[in-house]
Chains A and B, each alone.
Chain A
């Protein structure tokens, strides 16, 4: 009885191999739109790219030679992938469009269009190689500020049914229309001051006095900046200026993130709460902006004119950053009134 339980390994391996072959051929037989040939030199010209504009759309591509063409389907979708079902872009409307002109491969009439599908039809005939151009109007552009796609397919049938022989996608992007007055434009708000207890209207002070500098003590001070933007591509903040200077004499700036050392010539800043010396505050606010690594490490300071000190990768609510400055001087530092002007530059990103 027990001998019946002994595994028949060769038989099991044969079964596994058979199963693998069945799975392979099963998956291979799934619908595959990638079998269509690619259409070359495709382009779409949207005469007015403004959102919701009622305009003319031109399509151009190289017609392959010797292909039986009975119809051309132009389908507007939210993505270009032929393996996915097409979803029409929001607001796009081609249902009133008519074929204004055709060149290259001709003889087409337009079947009644739907919101996002236009079909050109003719009795099936072999195509000749060359540039084919078809223009349509009126077409209403999508309403969001976004990319949209047109899938172009050639069919041997007269009504764009069955598998397509050739395929290609083109992309376009709607742009902000000058006639739109209700839209909130991108704005970047930015302020710098010694203290900013609330919004930018509460910014207070543009000058910092550090008192007398001494080799035995690190001089420190703070200022603040408040930034926010609704621009989707975010912002970048730079610091520009000179190190502390008195005529031709300077206090050396820290070229790399470094700790504070009394008795050394050091000028630097960072955007964090520090313990050595006890100065600064952590960034605050519900925004997503962050300090760059060189200026974002507690107790490490540096200064380079033109350095990026904070960035936001996207639209963001307000963040308050506190600049912590430190100044150390050596005992042989030449006397004088040392000063600097620091310009904080905030720019949109791209």
Chain B
């Protein structure tokens, strides 16, 4: 009887052991992270900072492998292109040699933490922007057909102060209509339904510092009267990375709702039909460095279909009037003869 009892207990224990790996393997695939950090680190100095991590699962632990990877701009927008290759060569702006962070992080269900890291810039390192990404990757593995893993990436930018090469060249500026995913779009001069709801400018960064230009756009009508002002042409401090040609989208911001291009809801703008000129003034340069200035202007026509119809109707009435007068004149001259 005792042997049977012991065997049963051993069986239950073995069964639990068999189950245990499955329970342990169940791991969170939900995390909250700091999306972007910007720091200033002087050459020869170290800066300590933290990255926020939150386990969004309330029942499963979150185990993450941590690694530093390089990235560059993937297109004209602010989407990064991550270099996920193992042993990928360093970029010219890589922070990898200067950054130290733990290679593994674990969080209990529902818990958050600030993961410490340091950036040490060697003495003599040239001024400019250096950046890499810190990848937190959920540690999932299985023998199933498709295994899902979540990974969060924090972009870390470090500016080394000093005399850096700052060079932005304007490539395009004008009224702009983006595609639905906003990855591209078209610059236009004629608008037949609604006035253009946003502008865009394209800047090529040939310097060695990631630039966030600041400036304004002034819209004037055909008589030179100011009709609209967009005070902040880079409201959310978007960056043109090194070697990137970056498009900056700007739209009229509703003062009441704060709606703007980066909330995905450009405010509708009311303009009378006619020709308009938008003037862009941009300033860029690091704090304490010489300000550089960019000026550009672009024109556009807003000719709604109803307005064209009214013009055609007026022209038709005028033509009819002229024809009527002509007829009257020719008739009276015939009468006189």
Measured in the bound complex, the distance between the Cα atoms of B154 and A346 in whole Å is 9
Measured in the bound complex, the distance between the Cα atoms of B80 and A234 in whole Å is 11
Interface residue from A173, A191, A306, A313 paired with B56 (Cβ < 8 Å): A191
Q: Is B328 an interface residue (CB 8 A)?
A: yes
Q: Is B283 an interface residue (CB 8 A)?
A: yes
Please indicate which of the listed interface residues B58, B148, B149 has the most CB atoms of chain A within 10 Å of its own CB. B148
Measured in the bound complex, the distance between the Cα atoms of B69 and A343 in whole Å is 15
Instruction: Please determine whether A171 and B215 come into contact, CB atoms closer than 8 angstroms.
Output: yes
Instruction: Please determine whether A190 and B32 come into contact, CB atoms closer than 8 angstroms.
Output: yes
Q: Which residues of A contact B143 (CB under 8 A)?
A: 337, 339
Instruction: Please determine whether A201 and B58 come into contact, CB atoms closer than 8 angstroms.
Output: yes
Instruction: Please determine whether A188 and B32 come into contact, CB atoms closer than 8 angstroms.
Output: yes
Q: Is B74 an interface residue (CB 8 A)?
A: yes
Q: Is A108 an interface residue (CB 8 A)?
A: no
Measured in the bound complex, the distance between the Cα atoms of B288 and A171 in whole Å is 10
Instruction: Please determine whether A79 and B182 come into contact, CB atoms closer than 8 angstroms.
Output: no
Measured in the bound complex, the distance between the Cα atoms of B328 and A147 in whole Å is 67
Name the segment of A40-48, A95-103, A109-117 touching the other chain: A40-48
Q: Is A128 an interface residue (CB 8 A)?
A: no
Q: Is B89 an interface residue (CB 8 A)?
A: no
**A interface residue count range (under 10 / 10 to 19 / 20 to 34 / 35 or more):** 35 or more
Measured in the bound complex, the distance between the Cα atoms of B279 and A34 in whole Å is 13
Measured in the bound complex, the distance between the Cα atoms of B84 and A308 in whole Å is 13
Instruction: Please determine whether B36 and A341 come into contact, CB atoms closer than 8 angstroms.
Output: no
Instruction: Please determine whether A149 and B226 come into contact, CB atoms closer than 8 angstroms.
Output: no
Query: Quick one: CB contact mask for A311-328 with B, threshold 8 Å, 1 for yes?
Result: 111111000000001000
Measured in the bound complex, the distance between the Cα atoms of B81 and A233 in whole Å is 15
| Chain B residue at minimum C-beta to C-beta distance from A294 | B181
Q: Which residues of B contact A339 (CB under 8 A)?
A: 143-147
Chain A contacts with B in 201-257, Cβ cutoff 8 A: 201, 203, 205-210, 221, 223, 225-226, 229, 231-236, 238, 240, 244
Please indicate which of the listed interface residues A223, A338, A341 has the most CB atoms of chain B within 10 Å of its own CB. A341
Q: Which residues of B contact A44 (CB under 8 A)?
A: 287-288, 291
Name the segment of A80-88, A158-166, A274-282 touching the other chain: A80-88
Q: Is A182 an interface residue (CB 8 A)?
A: no
Task: Give chain B nearest CB distance to A239 CB in angstroms.
Answer: 10
Name the segment of B94-102, B132-140, B270-278, B304-312 touching the other chain: B132-140
Name the segment of A65-73, A258-266, A285-293 touching the other chain: A285-293
Please indicate which of the listed interface residues A147, A192, A208 has the most CB atoms of chain B within 10 Å of its own CB. A147
Instruction: Please determine whether B291 and A231 come into contact, CB atoms closer than 8 angstroms.
Output: no
Q: Is B238 an interface residue (CB 8 A)?
A: yes
Given contacts A235-B35, A238-B82, A314-B262, contact A49 B287 (CB under 8 A): yes
Instruction: Please determine whether B35 and A188 come into contact, CB atoms closer than 8 angstroms.
Output: yes
Q: Is A172 an interface residue (CB 8 A)?
A: yes
Interface residue from B137, B147, B235 paired with A206 (Cβ < 8 Å): B147
Instruction: Please determine whether A171 and B214 come into contact, CB atoms closer than 8 angstroms.
Output: yes
Measured in the bound complex, the distance between the Cα atoms of B53 and A189 in whole Å is 10
Instruction: Please determine whether A348 and B218 come into contact, CB atoms closer than 8 angstroms.
Output: no
28 contacting pairs across A/B (C-beta < 8 A): A3-B332, A43-B291, A44-B287, A45-B287, A49-B287, A78-B232, A79-B216, A84-B229, A147-B237, A149-B214, A175-B38, A190-B30, A190-B32, A190-B152, A192-B29, A192-B150, A203-B57, A225-B150, A232-B235, A306-B84, A311-B181, A316-B264, A340-B145, A340-B147, A341-B147, A342-B148, A345-B82, A350-B238
Chain B interface (Cβ < 8 Å from any Cβ of A): 26-36, 38, 52, 54, 56-59, 74, 77-82, 84, 110, 133, 135, 137, 140-155, 157, 179-183, 210, 212, 214-216, 218, 223-224, 226, 229, 231-232, 234-239, 241, 249, 261-265, 281, 283-285, 287-291, 293, 325, 328-329, 332
Question: What 8 A-B pairs have minimum CB-CB distances, sorted nearest first?
Answer: A348-B35, A191-B30, A314-B262, A288-B264, A347-B153, A45-B288, A200-B56, A147-B214
Chain A interface (Cβ < 8 Å from any Cβ of B): 2-3, 5-6, 27, 30, 41-46, 49, 58, 78-81, 83-84, 146-147, 149, 168-173, 175, 185-194, 199-201, 203, 205-210, 221, 223, 225-226, 229, 231-236, 238, 240, 244, 288, 290-293, 296, 305-306, 308, 311-316, 325, 337-350
